[in-house]
C-alpha cells in the first residue's frame, strides 16, 4: 500500500500533466486558426482579377528643336574608321609615303613667339589636340603597333553631295587605310566605304577626305560662327566610343579660346562648349539651333580621359576658308608671312618704357625676309595695319596670314618713339618658315612635284630596256604610290607599268604627265596596266572617278 505522501505526489503530477496537455492543445488550436486566416488573406492579396491593364498613350508634345536638328542633320554625319598597318623595319615600300602637309617636327614660330614651344604646365598637348579619335581605349599606341593592324575611330560630316567630307587631321593622321560609314549603310562587320585624302592642314587640325557615291549624298549647311554668342544652345553629333549617331547638347561656354601657346596655337582659336563630347566625336559637327554647323569638334580638356564639361570646336568661318583652299588645285592652305618674330604677353612696364599701349614689339627680323627687305628692325613697334590700329599679336598674324603671297601690306610702326611706315611684300609662310629654320622647304607629296604626284598620288619613271624587252611595249613604271591616294585606292602598286591613260598612249614620263595634267576632279580615269612579272596576263584595265 502506497503511503499518503506518494499518493499526493501522483495526484500533483497527473494534474500538472492535464494542465500541460490543455495548454498544448490550446496553442496548437490557435496556431492552426491563425495560419488559416493568414492563408486566406494571402490568397486575396495575390488575386489580379480587379487590376486594369496598362495602355500606352500617344504624346501630344511637339518635337523640340534638338529633335528636329538631329533628324535633319544626322544623315550627313559619318563614322570614320582608320587602319594603321604594321610598319616594316626598313625604309622601303609604299607605307613611307604619308599624306601630310608638313614634316613631323614643329616649325619655328612665324610672326609669333615660340620660345616656350613644348613647355608649360604638363604641356597642353597632353590634354588637348591628340585626344579625340586617335586611339581606341585599351589598344597600344600607334607608334608601336607590335606587328598588328591598329584601328582608330572618329567622326566627320558631308559638305558636298559628291562625297566630300570634313574631319580633323588627327583623325586620319598616320592612317594607311581610311573608311567612311554612313548612317544608312548596313550595320555589319564591314568598316565602310574606302576614302582618299584630298588635303590636310595641320595648323588648324582640319582635313578633307572623299568617298565615291553613285547617288547624291545628304549634306550639312555651314553657319556663321562669328554670329554665335556665349550662352547659345548647341548640339553635337558624332561617334563617341564607336557609338555612331550619338547626340548631345549644351551651350557655348566661351569663344576665341587658345589652348596651345606660341606658334602651334596661332591659327587655333576655338569655340568652347559644355556639350558632351568624347573620344570618337572628333571631326563631328557642332550645330546651332538652326541646324547649321558652327564648329568642328576638335579637342577636350580632361584629366580622366573622358568628358569633364569642357570641349573645343574649330569655328566654321575658319573651317570654310581652309576647306576652300584644300579642294583647290594645290590642295593646301597658303598663308602669308613677313618674316618676323615677337613675344606675346609683355608686361605693362615694357609698354611704358617703349612708349606704346597697343601694338606688337618686334623681337627678331629674318635676314633677307619680307620685313627685312622693307627696312624693319628688331625693337620696332607695329601699331597699324593698312591704317587701322593693331590690337595684339593674334590680330597681326591673322591679318598677314590671310593675305596672298605677292600682295602688299602697309605697316605703321614706332622706332625710337617716332612714327614711321613701310610697305611690305608678303611671302609664303611655309617657305619663310623653312628659310627661318635654315632649311629648304621640304617636298610635300600632296602639293608639290609632278601632276601625277599631286593629283593621283603616284610617281612614275621611264622604262628601262630590260622591262621593255620583257613586256614588249612602251609605258611608264610606277615608282611609288602614296598611301590613301587615288592611285592607292584603285589598286596601283610600285613596279606596274602604265601604257595608256584614258586610251591615250603614255610611252614616256613626259607623255604621262601631260595626260594627267588634263585631269580634274570628277573626271573618270582609266589606266591600261601591265605587270612586268606576269606579262602573259596581258593588259589590265583599272580606273575610277577622280
Share of the chain above pLDDT 90, in %: 36
- The answer to whether position 56 is within a domain reads no
Decide if pLDDT at 150 tops 60. Answer: yes
Model pLDDT, residue 122: 42
Confidence of residue 253 (pLDDT cuts 50, 70, 90): very high
- Looking at the structure, tell me whether residues 420 and 484 fall in a common domain: no
Decide if pLDDT at 162 tops 60. Answer: yes
Decide if pLDDT at 14 tops 70. Answer: no
Decide if pLDDT at 99 tops 90. Answer: no
Q: Would you call 112 helix, strand, or coil by DSSP?
A: coil
User: What's the rounded mean pLDDT across residues 263-271?
Assistant: 78
Share of the chain above pLDDT 70, in %: 74
User: What's the rounded mean pLDDT across residues 375-403?
Assistant: 90
Decide if pLDDT at 72 tops 60. Answer: yes
Buried b (16+ CB within 10 A) or exposed e, 438-451: eeeeeebbbbeebb
Q: Give 210 or 41, the one with higher predicted confidence.
A: 210
- The answer to whether position 331 is within a domain reads no
- Looking at the structure, tell me whether residues 358 and 430 fall in a common domain: yes
- Looking at the structure, tell me whether residues 137 and 264 fall in a common domain: yes
Which one of 43-52, 67-76, 295-304 scores highest in mean pLDDT? 67-76
Model pLDDT, residue 135: 43
Model pLDDT, residue 186: 79
Q: Give 410 or 264, the one with higher predicted confidence.
A: 410
Model pLDDT, residue 241: 82
CATH number at residue 376: 2.30.42.10
- Looking at the structure, tell me whether residues 311 and 403 fall in a common domain: no
Q: What DSSP string describes 359-394?
A: SEEEEEE-TTSHHHHTT--TT-EEEEETTEEP--HH
- The answer to whether position 77 is within a domain reads yes
Calpha distance 186→184 (Å, rounded): 6
Calpha distance 429→336 (Å, rounded): 5
Confidence of residue 449 (pLDDT cuts 50, 70, 90): low
- Looking at the structure, tell me whether residues 104 and 25 fall in a common domain: no
Calpha distance 532→477 (Å, rounded): 9
- The answer to whether position 47 is within a domain reads no
- The total of other beta-carbon atoms located within 10 Å of residue 64's CB is 9
- Looking at the structure, tell me whether residues 321 and 415 fall in a common domain: no
Q: Give 501 or 450, the one with higher predicted confidence.
A: 501
Decide if pLDDT at 304 tops 90. Answer: no
Q: How many CA atoms lie within 13 A of 378 on its CB side?
A: 8
User: What's the rounded mean pLDDT across residues 323-331?
Assistant: 91
Instruction: Record the cell numbers describing residue 450, joined without a space.
Output: 609632278
The backbone region for 114, taken as left when phi is positive above 0, alpha when psi lies in -120 to 50, beta otherwise, is alpha
Model pLDDT, residue 133: 39
Decide if pLDDT at 191 tops 70. Answer: yes
- Looking at the structure, tell me whether residues 351 and 464 fall in a common domain: no
- The answer to whether position 40 is within a domain reads no
Dihedral over Cα of 329, 333, 336, 337: its sign: negative
- The answer to whether position 297 is within a domain reads yes
Q: Give 176 or 356, the one with higher predicted confidence.
A: 176
Q: What DSSP string describes 174-189?
A: T-SEEEEE-TTS--SS
Phi/psi at 34 (5° precision): -65, -45
Per mean pLDDT, which range of 27-36, 66-75, 306-315 is the poorest? Answer: 27-36
Cα–Cα distances (Å) from 363 to 209, 401, 436, 446, in that order, read 39, 19, 14, 34
* ∠ Cα 530 532 536 (to 5°): 75
Model pLDDT, residue 336: 92
- Looking at the structure, tell me whether residues 288 and 416 fall in a common domain: no
Model pLDDT, residue 189: 57
Residues 6+ apart with CB under 8 A from 119: none
- The answer to whether position 35 is within a domain reads no
* ∠ Cα 493 496 500 (to 5°): 115
CATH number at residue 233: 2.40.10.120
- Looking at the structure, tell me whether residues 399 and 495 fall in a common domain: no
Q: Give 213 or 40, the one with higher predicted confidence.
A: 213
Model pLDDT, residue 269: 87
Confidence of residue 543 (pLDDT cuts 50, 70, 90): confident
Cα–Cα distances (Å) from 496 to 2, 164, 448, in that order, read 131, 29, 23
Residues 6+ apart with CB under 8 A from 417: 355
User: What's the rounded mean pLDDT across residues 169-186?
Assistant: 88
- Any idea which residues carry the catalytic annotation? 170, 205, 282
Model pLDDT, residue 43: 54
- The answer to whether position 86 is within a domain reads yes
Confidence of residue 300 (pLDDT cuts 50, 70, 90): confident
Model pLDDT, residue 140: 45
Q: Give 359 or 12, the one with higher predicted confidence.
A: 359
Last residue of a domain, one of 383, 402, 436: 436
Q: Are the C-beta atoms of 384 and 411 separated by less than 8 Å?
A: yes
- Looking at the structure, tell me whether residues 237 and 256 fall in a common domain: yes
Confidence of residue 20 (pLDDT cuts 50, 70, 90): very low
Decide if pLDDT at 227 tops 80. Answer: yes
Model pLDDT, residue 261: 64
Nearest to 217 by CA among 166, 179, 160: 160
* ∠ Cα 410 413 415 (to 5°): 145
Model pLDDT, residue 539: 84
Decide if pLDDT at 91 tops 70. Answer: no
- Give 263's DSSP letter: G
- Looking at the structure, tell me whether residues 116 and 211 fall in a common domain: yes
The 3 state secondary structure assigned to 8-45 is HHHHHHHHHHHHHHHHHHHHHHHHHHHHHHHHHHHHHH
Last residue of a domain, one of 279, 299, 326: 326
Q: Give 50 or 27, the one with higher predicted confidence.
A: 50
Last residue of a domain, one of 377, 405, 436: 436
> How many structural domains compose the chain?
4
Per mean pLDDT, which range of 29-43, 175-189, 339-353 is the poorest? Answer: 29-43
pLDDT digit string, tens, across residues 134-147: 444 444 444 445 55
Confidence of residue 44 (pLDDT cuts 50, 70, 90): low
Q: Are the C-beta atoms of 110 and 436 separated by less than 8 Å?
A: yes
Phi/psi at 153 (5° precision): -140, 160
User: What's the rounded mean pLDDT across residues 189-215?
Assistant: 90
- Looking at the structure, tell me whether residues 91 and 222 fall in a common domain: yes
User: What's the rounded mean pLDDT across residues 270-293?
Assistant: 92
Domain range for 397: 336-436
Amino acid at each position: 500500500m502506497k503511503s499518503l505522501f506518494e499518493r499526493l505526489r501522483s495526484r500533483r503530477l497527473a494534474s500538472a500533466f492535464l494542465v500541460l496537455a490543455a495548454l498544448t492543445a490550446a496553442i496548437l488550436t490557435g496556431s492552426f486558426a491563425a495560419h488559416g486566416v493568414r492563408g486566406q488573406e494571402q490568397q486575396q492579396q495575390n488575386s489580379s482579377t480587379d487590376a486594369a491593364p496598362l495602355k500606352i498613350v500617344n504624346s501630344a508634345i511637339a518635337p523640340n528643336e534638338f529633335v528636329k536638328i538631329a533628324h535633319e542633320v544626322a544623315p550627313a554625319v559619318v563614322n570614320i574608321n582608320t587602319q594603321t598597318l604594321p610598319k616594316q623595319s626598313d625604309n622601303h615600300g609604299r607605307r613611307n609615303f604619308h599624306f601630310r602637309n608638313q614634316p613631323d617636327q614643329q616649325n619655328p614660330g612665324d610672326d609669333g613667339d615660340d620660345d616656350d614651344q613644348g613647355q608649360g604646365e604638363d604641356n597642353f598637348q597632353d590634354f588637348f589636340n591628340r585626344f579625340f579619335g586617335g586611339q581606341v581605349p585599351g589598344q597600344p599606341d600607334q607608334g608601336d603597333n607590335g606587328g598588328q593592324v591598329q584601328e582608330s575611330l572618329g567622326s566627320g560630316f558631308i559638305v558636298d553631295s559628291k562625297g566630300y567630307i570634313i574631319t580633323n587631321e588627327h583623325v586620319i593622321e598616320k592612317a594607311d587605310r581610311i573608311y567612311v560609314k554612313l548612317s544608312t549603310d548596313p550595320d555589319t562587320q564591314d568598316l565602310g566605304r574606302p576614302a582618299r585624302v584630298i588635303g590636310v592642314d595641320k595648323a588648324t587640325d582640319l582635313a578633307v577626305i572623299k568617298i565615291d557615291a553613285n547617288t547624291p549624298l545628304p549634306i550639312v549647311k555651314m553657319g556663321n560662327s562669328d554670329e554665335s554668342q556665349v550662352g547659345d544652345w548647341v548640339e553635337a553629333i558624332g561617334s563617341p566610343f564607336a557609338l555612331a549617331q550619338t547626340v548631345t547638347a549644351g551651350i557655348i561656354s566661351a569663344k576665341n579660346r587658345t589652348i596651345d601657346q606660341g606658334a602651334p596655337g596661332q591659327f587655333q582659336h576655338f569655340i568652347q562648349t559644355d556639350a558632351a563630347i568624347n573620344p570618337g566625336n572628333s571631326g563631328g559637327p557642332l550645330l546651332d539651333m538652326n541646324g547649321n554647323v558652327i564648329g568642328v569638334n576638335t579637342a577636350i580638356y580632361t584629366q580622366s580621359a573622358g568628358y569633364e564639361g569642357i570641349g573645343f570646336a574649330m569655328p566654321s568661318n575658319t573651317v570654310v576658308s581652309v576647306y576652300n583652299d584644300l579642294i583647290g588645285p594645290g590642295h593646301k592652305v597658303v598663308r602669308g608671312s613677313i618674316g618676323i618674330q615677337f613675344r606675346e604677353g609683355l608686361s605693362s612696364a615694357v609698354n611704358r618704357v617703349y612708349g606704346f599701349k597697343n601694338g606688337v614689339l618686334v623681337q627678331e627680323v629674318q635676314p633677307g625676309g619680307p620685313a627685312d627687305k622693307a627696312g624693319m628692325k628688331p625693337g620696332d613697334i607695329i601699331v597699324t595695319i593698312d591704317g587701322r590700329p593693331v590690337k595684339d599679336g593674334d590680330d597681326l598674324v591673322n591679318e598677314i596670314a590671310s593675305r596672298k603671297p605677292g600682295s602688299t601690306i602697309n605697316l605703321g610702326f614706332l622706332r625710337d618713339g617716332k612714327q614711321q611706315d613701310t610697305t611690305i611684300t608678303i611671302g609664303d609662310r611655309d617657305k619663310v618658315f623653312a628659310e627661318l629654320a635654315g632649311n629648304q622647304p621640304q617636298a610635300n607629296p600632296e602639293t608639290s612635284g609632278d601632276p601625277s604626284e599631286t593629283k593621283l598620288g603616284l610617281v612614275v619613271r621611264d622604262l628601262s630596256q630590260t622591262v621593255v624587252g620583257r613586256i614588249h611595249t612602251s609605258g611608264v613604271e610606277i615608282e611609288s604610290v602614296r598611301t590613301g591616294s587615288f592611285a592607292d585606292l584603285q589598286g596601283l602598286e610600285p613596279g606596274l607599268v602604265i601604257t595608256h591613260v584614258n586610251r591615250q598612249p603614255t610611252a614616256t614620263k613626259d607623255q604621262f604627265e601631260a595626260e594627267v595634267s588634263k585631269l580634274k576632279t570628277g573626271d573618270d580615269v582609266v589606266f591600261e596596266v601591265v605587270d612586268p612579272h606576269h606579262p602573259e596576263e596581258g593588259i589590265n584595265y583599272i580606273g575610277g572617278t577622280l
